[in-house]
Chain A
Amino acid sequence: MGWYIRASRIVSELGKTNLSPSPAAAAASASASARTRCDADRLTGGSAAAARPSMSRPSVIIKLILGLLWFIVHLAISLCSLWFDLIYSIECYLISFGLIPKYRKFQLDRLKHLAVVVDSREAKNVAKINQLLCWLSNVGVKYVCLYDIDGVLKKTFAPAMNGSRYGNSGKYLDVGANTKALTCCHKEMTIECISGSDGKDGIAKAASLLCSTCVNGNRNTCGNGEIVFTEADMSGALKAIGCGGPEPDLLLVYGPARCHLGFPAWRLRYTEIMHMGPLNSMKYGAIVKAFYKFSKKYQNFGKFVFSFLENRNILQ
């Protein structure tokens, strides 16, 4: 039981330091709480400040040194990441000019539905969104689902959308007919806009719908036994309230961090998630590179992945 021996060794080391999370961590958090106490004192006019013992000098010095080291570490990481971003930008420009052979042709058969998550503050930049949609249709995407948590994209694109949004499984608009959305592209692409209210709130609404079939005027519809709705029931309920769109194969995240920001859970189960960086610095080459990586993922494993995908059996 090597794991047990190794674990015991680590725990005995912890035991020597009183079995609490690292004392330095405790000191740092204690100093952080001291900081907040000082702030609170300032707010109350500092009357209580005199009563509090001042922090000892060595701990102040240690705190400053730790802070300095932390700052230096993050500065070093930022500089390295700037350098890598530069190389990445150059590669993206080369890709967009078609100078890198392997990115010129790749199969997009596996990509039936694409989703894009945008940070709500960046989503207000309609020109960028339109440009993104243009690029996507250029690459050959047939179906795009745009998502942002606050519903900015819905407000921007929805007025131009005709057709019933509800009552069907998430209505879409044929972009060919919407010249406002895409003025530079000639290919057909379907666009769907969803927001945070289609995520958790959508599931809650579907739950209410299911619950109402069971608990309504006729109270004993489901009897007194255990209520057993299944995932299929939920999927059906989600479709019924208009939150049942197709599951995307690939999700591109445009924002400072790789977070899905509440994308509807029922559609995110087996979606590949790729982080593209902030929308303001989006590049055509980055999209091509992402699609290439996606296509390679399914190409390399071949038959194995095929049976993989049959079962949607992901963990190895």
Chain B
Amino acid sequence: MLGSLMSYSPSVDSKTENTDELIATGVLASLQNFIRKCIVAVLSYGPMPKHIAFIMDGNRRYAKFRSIQEGSGHRVGFSALIASLLYCYEMGVKYITVYAFSIDNFKRDPTEVKSLMELMEEKINELLENRNVINKVNCKINFWGNLDMLSKSVRVAAEKLMATTAENTGLVFSVCMPYNSTSEIVNAVNKVCAERRDILQREDADSVANNGVYSDISVADLDRHMYSAGCPDPDIVIRTSGETRLSNFLLWQTTFSHLQNPDPLWPEFSFKHLVWAILQYQRVHPYIEQSRNLAKKQL
């Protein structure tokens, strides 16, 4: 889970390196970069997903297996998230959604929840301060979920980040926190009902004949009021650490999404896992497209 993050201790980068090492790492980095571009070029020949959703599971297990402090697992997870985000951008994936914090997670130990919230706030503020990274990929950040359940400082920071990136037209990065698919659906139902009520109250003044007559709520009405309105449905949903559940994540939007559950834990998720995920998607793409078109025809 993305949630808990602590300030990262300085990495090797800040230490002084001699020139040879610098050249070696520079050459190696360029080579890695070139290989990565070749792989992306080959992959892009086939159908590429437009929207990938991640359930970032396994941060605490990662910390446990490596006998490091629990919060550090989430820190490494955050690095993995940013790296995956940028790899997806390179591949031309326009929408990325991550499951950062579930409403169910509030039931955890209060001190743990508090530390998670503090760390989330810290990371949001870091993103606000270092906006170059966001602006260079022209990233628009959304927060999906019941923001009212968050503490005031986190909510304010999140709303500020949304506001500052609202005009960006590149990558769309949606962070689900705190989120539950069922509460998203209920929220949409509430909004549609309120809309209906307002329409009828306005019509009230016009004609009495409309008394009690209104059309049923349709799937399209609910679609318009989901947090994900305007985003296409996810093509791939990846849950790391091999778990097979969806845990109340995007249940409405994943009708034709390819559900994948690779074994690596989230902090271990890297470029090669992403490439493998997309290769799997490309293999089943014809079937999913066919199913989607058949379903559309039936409507």
**Contact stretch, chosen from B15-23, B55-63, B161-169:** B55-63
What secondary structure prevails in chain A residues at the interface with B? Answer: helix
Inter-chain CA distance A205–B48, complex, in Å, is 35
Task: Flag if A200 contacts B252 (CB, 8 Å).
Answer: yes
Nearest residue in A to B181 (C-beta to C-beta)? Answer: A265
Task: Report how far A74 CA is from B42 CA in the complex, Å.
Answer: 11
Do B258 and A265 touch (CB < 8 A)? no
Complex CA gap A4/B136 in Å reads 13
Given contacts A234-B186, A258-B258, contact A211 B284 (CB under 8 A): no
Residues on A with beta carbons closer than 8 Å to the beta carbon of B150: none
Q: Is A231's CB within 8 Å of the partner chain B?
A: yes
* Cross-chain contact A66 with B41 (CB below 8 angstroms): yes
Q: Using Cβ atoms and an 8 Å threshold, which residues of chain B touch A85?
A: none
A-facing residues in B270-286 (Cβ within 8 Å): 279, 282-284
> Using an 8 Å CB-CB cutoff, how does the interface string of B254-270 with A read, 1 for contact, 0 for none?
11111110000000000
Known: A3-B79, A22-B92. A208 touches B216 (CB 8 A): yes
Q: How far is A255 from B284 in the complex, measured between Cα atoms in Å?
A: 10
Report the separation of the CA atoms of residues A230 and B92 in the bound assembly, to the nearest whole angstrom.
Answer: 39
State the CA gap A265–B183 with chains docked (Å): 11
Q: Are A269 and B83 in contact (CB under 8 A)?
A: no
| CB atoms of A2 and B255 under 8 A apart | no
| Contact yes or no, B211 A11, CB < 8 A | no
Q: Is B196 an interface residue (CB 8 A)?
A: yes
Judge whether B82 is part of the interface by a CB distance below 8 angstroms: yes
B216 with A270: CB separation less than 8 A? no
Smallest CB-CB separation from A12: which chain B residue? B136
Measured CA separation A260–B260 after assembly (Å) = 12
Q: Is the CB of B182 within 8 A of A231?
A: yes
B173 to chain A, nearest CB (A): 13
- The reply on B147 being an interface residue by CB < 8 A is no
Tell me which residues across on chain A come within 8 A of B13, comparing CB atoms.
2, 5
What distance in Å separates the Cβ of B14 from its nearest Cβ neighbour in chain A?
8
Which of B42, B241, B287 sits near A69, CB closer than 8 Å? B42
Of all chain A residues, which has the CB nearest B280? A77
Q: Does B189 contact A211, Cβ atoms closer than 8 Å?
A: yes
User: Are A215 and B186 closer than 8 Å at their CB atoms?
Assistant: no
- A314 contacts B247, CB within 8 Å? yes
Docked CA distance A260–B259 (Å): 8
Q: Give A78's nearest chain B residue, CB to CB.
A: B283
Name the residue on A nearest B266 (C-beta). A316
B152 at the interface (CB under 8 A from A): no
Whether A24 pairs with B197 at a CB distance below 8 angstroms is no
Closest CB of chain A to B220's CB: distance in Å? 9
The residue from B45, B221, B241 contacting A70, defined by CB atoms under 8 A apart: B45
Our pick among A3, A66, A268 for the contact of B251 (Cβ within 8 Å) is: A268
| Minimal beta-carbon separation of A257 from chain B (angstroms) | 4
Which A residues from 170 to 214 make CB contacts under 8 A with B? 196, 199-201, 203-205, 207-208, 210-211, 214
For residue A149, which residues in chain B have a CB less than 8 angstroms away from its CB?
291, 295
B86 in contact with A25 (CB, 8 Å)? no
Query: Are the CB atoms of A268 and B258 closer together than 8 Å?
Result: no
Measured CA separation A2–B8 after assembly (Å)? 6
User: A6-B82, A73-B279 given as contacts; is B181 within 8 A of A269 (CB)?
Assistant: yes
Interface residue total, chain B, C-beta cutoff 8 A: 98
Contact bitstring A294-316, B, C-beta under 8 A = 1, else 0: 00000000000000000111111
**Residues in A neighbouring B132, C-beta threshold 8 A:** 8, 11
Residues of B within 8 A of A4 (CB): 126, 130, 133
In the complex, what residue of chain A is closest to B92 when comparing beta carbons?
A: A21
CB pair B182 A269 closer than 8 Å? yes
Interface string of B162-199 (1 = CB under 8 A from A): 00000000000000000001110110011011101100
**Known contacts A3-B82, A69-B42, A204-B218; A257/B136 CB under 8 A:** no
* Residue from the set A7, A26, A63, A73 with the largest chain B CB neighbour count within 10 Å: A7
Whole-angstrom distance between the Cβ of B242 and the nearest chain A Cβ: 10
Q: Which residue of B lies closest to A258 (CB)?
A: B259
Given contact pairs A21-B89, A311-B107, A261 touches B44 in the complex (Cβ within 8 A): no
Question: How far, in angstroms, from A98 to B58 measured CA to CA in the complex?
Answer: 35
How many angstroms between the C-alpha atoms of A19 and B139 in the bound complex? 12
Q: By the criterion CB–CB under 8 Å, are A7 and B86 in contact?
A: yes
Closest chain A residue to B62, Cβ basis: A316
State the Cβ distance, A293 to closest chain B Cβ, in Å: 9
Q: Is the CB of B217 within 8 A of A315?
A: no
Say whether A219 contacts B186, CB under 8 Å. no
With a cutoff of 8 Å between Cβ atoms, the chain A residues found around residue B37 in the complex are 22-24
Instruction: Give A19's nearest chain B residue, CB to CB.
Output: B136
Q: In angstroms, how far is the closest chain A Cβ from the Cβ of B47?
A: 10
What is the CA–CA distance of A150 and B78 in the complex, to the nearest angstrom? Answer: 41
A268 and B40 contact, CB distance less than 8 A? no
Given contacts A6-B82, A21-B91, A210-B189, 10 further A-B contacts (CB under 8 A): A7-B86, A22-B92, A29-B44, A66-B45, A69-B42, A74-B46, A149-B295, A196-B295, A273-B246, A315-B102
**Closest CB pairs A-B (n = 7):** A24-B41, A265-B251, A257-B284, A314-B247, A217-B212, A70-B45, A2-B11
Q: A-side interface residues toward B, CB under 8 Å?
A: 1-11, 13-15, 19, 21-29, 63, 66-67, 69-70, 73-74, 77-78, 119-120, 149-150, 196, 199-201, 203-205, 207-208, 210-211, 214-217, 219, 222, 226-231, 233-234, 255-262, 265-266, 268-274, 311-316
